[in-house]
């Protein structure tokens, strides 16, 4: 009986093993055919729509507003606005309305120290008035002050709608609203208009530099399968941080995402399995020894992407060492390793 049971189990086991083996053989054939397809001349393409933002279009952007011409007037208006803050720092309602207006007009970044000092004096004496409480919640919270749970009731109606919008777009829209306000302050309105136009000049210069970098990089010609989204990437970077003094941050983020999109399309769409394994191996070797020798076995289109990636990291490291006297290279390598 035992021998019979063992024999039955053995037959069943053999059938199961044979079935698994046949399944593996079928899968092996599928993988083999897929690899043959990837190794052939046929390449997958996503057929992304072409960008309308050609280099010559971006180069044609212009504005009559420059800091060289309007800096004196800008400083004069900023001085007048500081006087407004100083003369209204004892009335909590007026001060909060003033700070809120500056934030929505997009000029509060000029007066961060003055606003925070005024709010620090106001903070211990919060009012129970609903409108003022709402202003207190939004303005104080945006400047890092802790707010009690009672004030959280106004979060949905006051904070979230604004945070869904890009700050510079919101500033442009609010300028139109504010100029129709009968209680508007003419100094703040002129400052907001002038500041908006001057910051636009900064954005235009950054875009022109980026457009030339993107053209010279050669991705549009050598990697035509990848997305050409320079303008969209720049708007994303500008949406994160709009202040004019953070130009290098916007430019660096834009370059990073442009290169990242090309690598993403290379892996998701265009590259063959062998090519992608070679690229991954080259990056691995680069992390242990930073040089271009690891790219020797890569196809030409991958070499362009690989060198662009190395040059971007070198540029970031150089800028930080030059401006901040800090060596960020080991930390960048660690971040890349953690992404794997």
Nearest Cα neighbor of 58 from 315, 230, 316 is 230
Instruction: Report if residue 169 sits inside a domain.
Output: no
Query: Percentage of the chain surpassing pLDDT 90?
Result: 52
332 and 261 co-located in one domain: yes
* CATH at 125: 1.50.10.130
Q: Please check whether residue 45 lies inside any domain of the structure.
A: no
The answer to whether residues 92 and 122 touch, using CB atoms and an 8 Å cutoff, is: yes
With cut-offs at 50, 70 and 90, classify the pLDDT of residue 120.
confident
The mean pLDDT value for 283-308 works out to 88
Burial 30-42 (b: 16+ CB within 10 A, else e): eeeeeeeebeeee
With respect to residue 294, please indicate whether it lies within any of the assigned structural domains. yes
What's the CA gap between 277 and 281, in Å, rounded?
A: 6
- Please check whether residue 89 lies inside any domain of the structure: yes
Q: Is the same domain home to 217 and 327?
A: yes
How far, rounded to the nearest angstrom, does the alpha carbon of residue 36 sit from its chain's CA centroid? 38
Whether 173 is covered by a domain: the verdict is no
Cα separations (Å) of 48 from 110, 226, 269? 41, 8, 11
Confirm if 227 and 261 have CB atoms less than 8 A apart: yes
Q: Are residues 293 and 211 in the same domain?
A: yes
Q: CA separation (Å) from 35 to 31, 38, 42, 130, 265?
A: 6, 5, 12, 67, 18
Could you tell me the pLDDT band of residue 338, with boundaries at 50, 70 and 90?
confident
6 part of a folded domain: no
Residues 206 and 150 in one domain: no
Residue 181: pLDDT band (50, 70, 90) is: confident
pLDDT at 41: 55
Same-domain check for residues 153 and 247: no
Contact criterion met (CB below 8 Å) for 340 and 332? no
Which of 22-36, 199-213, 292-306 has the weakest average pLDDT?
A: 22-36
How many beta carbons lie within 10 A of that of residue 185, not counting itself? 18
Most confidently modeled of 10-24, 115-129, 134-148, 282-296?
282-296
Residues 245, 153: one domain?
no
- What's the domain count of the chain? 2
One domain for residues 220 and 322:
yes
**Residue at a domain's end among 146, 164, 182:** 164
Q: Last residue of a domain, which of 116, 148, 164?
A: 164
Give 41-54 pLDDT, tens digit per residue: 577 888 888 899 99
Residue 223 belongs to some domain of the structure: yes
Q: Quick one: 205 and 270 in the same domain?
A: yes
Pair (140, 258) in one structural domain: no
User: Contact 234/207 with Cβ under 8 angstroms?
Assistant: yes
Domain containing residue 323: CATH number: 1.10.600.10
234 and 313: one domain? yes
Task: Indicate whether 207 and 335 sit together in one domain.
Answer: yes
Average pLDDT value for residue range 288-311:
89
Give, for 76, the enclosing helix (H) or strand (E): helix 67-87
Shared domain for 235 and 325, answered yes or no, is yes
Domain holding 103, by residue range, is 81-164
Please tell me which residue, 35 or 168, carries the higher pLDDT value. 168
Give the integer Cα–Cα distance in Å for 319 and 28: 50
- Angle, vertex CA 247, rays to CA 245 and CA 252, nearest 5: 145
Confidence tier at 8 by pLDDT (50, 70, 90): very low
What pLDDT is recorded for position 301?
Answer: 93
How is 261-305 classified by DSSP, letter by letter?
A: HHHHHIIIII--HHHHHHHHHHHHHHHHS-SGGGGTTS-HHHHHH
Under 8 Å between Cβ of 106 and 195: yes
Cα atoms in the 13 Å half-sphere on the side-chain side of 66: 5
The answer to whether residue 277 sits within a structural domain is yes
Structure pTM?
A: 0.76
CA distance 128 to 134: 10
Cα radius of gyration (the chain): 29
Which of 164, 185, 213 terminates a domain? The answer is: 164
């Amino acid at each position: 009986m035992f021998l019979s049971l063992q024999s039955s189990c053995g037959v069943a086991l053999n059938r199961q093993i044979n079935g698994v083996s046949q399944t593996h053989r079928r899968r092996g054939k599928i993988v083999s055919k897929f690899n043959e397809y990837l190794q052939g001349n046929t390449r997958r393409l996503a057929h992304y729509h072409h960008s309308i933002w050609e280099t010559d279009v971006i180069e044609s952007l212009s504005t009559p507003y420059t800091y060289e011409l309007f800096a004196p007037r800008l400083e004069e208006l900023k001085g007048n606005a500081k006087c407004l803050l100083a003369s209204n720092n004892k009335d909590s309602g007026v001060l909060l309305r003033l700070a809120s207006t500056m934030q929505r007009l997009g000029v509060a970044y000029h007066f961060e120290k003055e606003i925070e000092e005024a709010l620090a004096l106001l903070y211990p004496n919060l009012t129970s008035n609903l409108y003022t409480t709402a202003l207190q919640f939004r303005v104080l919270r945006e400047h890092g002050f802790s707010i009690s749970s009672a004030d959280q009731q106004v979060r949905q109606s006051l904070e979230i709608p604004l945070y869904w919008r890009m700050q510079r777009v919101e500033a442009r829209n609010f300028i139109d609203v504010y100029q129709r306000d009968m209680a508007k302050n003419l100094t703040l309105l002129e400052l907001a208009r002038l500041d908006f136009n001057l910051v636009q000049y900064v954005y235009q210069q950054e875009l022109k530099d980026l457009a030339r970098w993107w053209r010279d990089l050669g991705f549009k010609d050598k990697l035509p399968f990848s997305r050409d989204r320079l303008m969209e990437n720049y708007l994303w970077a500008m949406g994160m941080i709009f202040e004019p003094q953070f130009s290098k941050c916007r430019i660096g983020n834009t370059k990073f995402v442009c290169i990242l999109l090309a690598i993403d399309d290379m892996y998701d769409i265009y590259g063959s399995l062998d090519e992608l394994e070679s690229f991954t191996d080259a990056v691995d070797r680069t992390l242990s020894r930073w040089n271009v020798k690891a790219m020797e076995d890569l196809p030409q289109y991958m070499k362009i992407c690989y060198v662009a990636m190395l040059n971007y990291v070198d540029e970031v490291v150089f800028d930080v060492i030059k401006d901040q006297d800090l060596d960020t290279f080991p930390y960048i390598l660690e971040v890349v390793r953690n992404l794997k």
